[in-house]
């Protein structure tokens, strides 16, 4: 019976969702499991993660299991990777949902996340370089980020064309978008995309968004369920958008 259960599990597509005990991550797990995906729900807090899995099972979603994961802990990451390899032998879908706000902002500050015209990075040369997927390399991305950190420490962000409102948050998002393109080019057989779920009502903002977690999860789930799809793109909710 156990061998048959393991066989059924490995036959299904397998997904890992990080930061998944609440909010968008939990809703992504629910929608994936509702579509026949075997979901590994991860969270830093074991108690909260197990409670989330039990809540999903109460709604008839049995193909969801918990595994502890702290995405900032290399040992925790290795333990998860070993678990997936041992129990499933593969990973079909990875949703990097876990986030760390790192700041306390009010509702008015949240409105400033985008500059007029949608230009998060005012510096034209930096913006063009980060957008050039053909020539951008990981080493060059590291150099650009180091330049930002130096300017941040020297209080010269505005002089060199960096954003001055929630600057670290904005630059980190742009860097993730750029790194998505680097990974997509490095691994052409994978589909690697970056998704902006919209301003969702979750604890991280704190509940000041406009969309429900269900609405915020639709974009990531749509891309995860594509049998073969685009790669290296930035999606604004469910539509491909400019970088």
Are the CB atoms for 87 and 79 separated by under 8 Å? no
By the 10 Å C-beta count (0-12 exposed, 13-18 middle, 19+ buried), 224 is classed as buried
Are the CB atoms for 77 and 55 separated by under 8 Å? no
C-alpha–C-alpha distance, residues 172 and 226, integer Å = 27
C-alpha–C-alpha distance, residues 174 and 195, integer Å = 12
Write out the catalytic residue numbers.
Answer: 169
List C-alpha distances in Å: 96 to 43, 127, 209: 12, 24, 20
Secondary structure of residue 228 in the 3-state scheme: coil
Those residues whose C-beta lies under 8 Å from the C-beta of residue 233, and which sit 6 or more positions away, are 193, 194, 240
Are the CB atoms for 112 and 166 separated by under 8 Å? yes
C-alpha–C-alpha distance, residues 25 and 96, integer Å = 9
Give the phi and the psi of residue 224 in degrees, each rounded to 5.
-65, -30
Those residues whose C-beta lies under 8 Å from the C-beta of residue 58, and which sit 6 or more positions away, are none
CA-CA-CA-CA torsion sign (147, 197, 107, 117): positive
> Hey, which residues does 40 pair with through a beta bridge?
16, 65
């Amino acid at each position: 019976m156990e061998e048959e259960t393991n066989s059924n599990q490995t036959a299904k597509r397998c997904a890992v969702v990080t930061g998944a005990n609440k909010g968008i991550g939990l809703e992504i797990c629910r929608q994936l499991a509702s579509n026949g995906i075997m979901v590994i729900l991860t969270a830093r807090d074991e108690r909260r993660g197990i409670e989330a899995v039990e809540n999903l099972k109460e709604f008839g979603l049995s193909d969801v299991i918990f595994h502890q994961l702290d995405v900032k802990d290399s040992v925790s990451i290795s333990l998860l990777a070993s678990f997936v390899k041992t129990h499933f032998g593969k990973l079909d879908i990875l949703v990097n949902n876990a986030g760390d706000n790192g700041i306390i902002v009010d509702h008015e500050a949240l409105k400033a996340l985008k500059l007029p015209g949608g230009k998060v990075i005012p510096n034209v040369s930096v913006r063009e370089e980060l957008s050039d997927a053909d020539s951008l390399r990981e080493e060059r991305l590291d150099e650009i980020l180091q330049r930002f950190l130096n300017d941040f420490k020297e209080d010269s962000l505005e002089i060199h064309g960096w954003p001055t409102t929630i600057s670290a948050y904005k630059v980190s998002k742009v860097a993730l978008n750029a790194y998505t393109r680097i990974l997509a080019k490095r691994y052409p057989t994978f589909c690697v995309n970056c998704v902006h779920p919209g301003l969702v009502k979750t604890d991280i903002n704190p509940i000041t968004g406009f969309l429900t977690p269900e609405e915020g999860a639709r974009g990531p789930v749509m891309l995860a369920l594509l049998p073969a799809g685009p790669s290296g793109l930035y999606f604004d909710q469910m539509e491909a958008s400019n970088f």
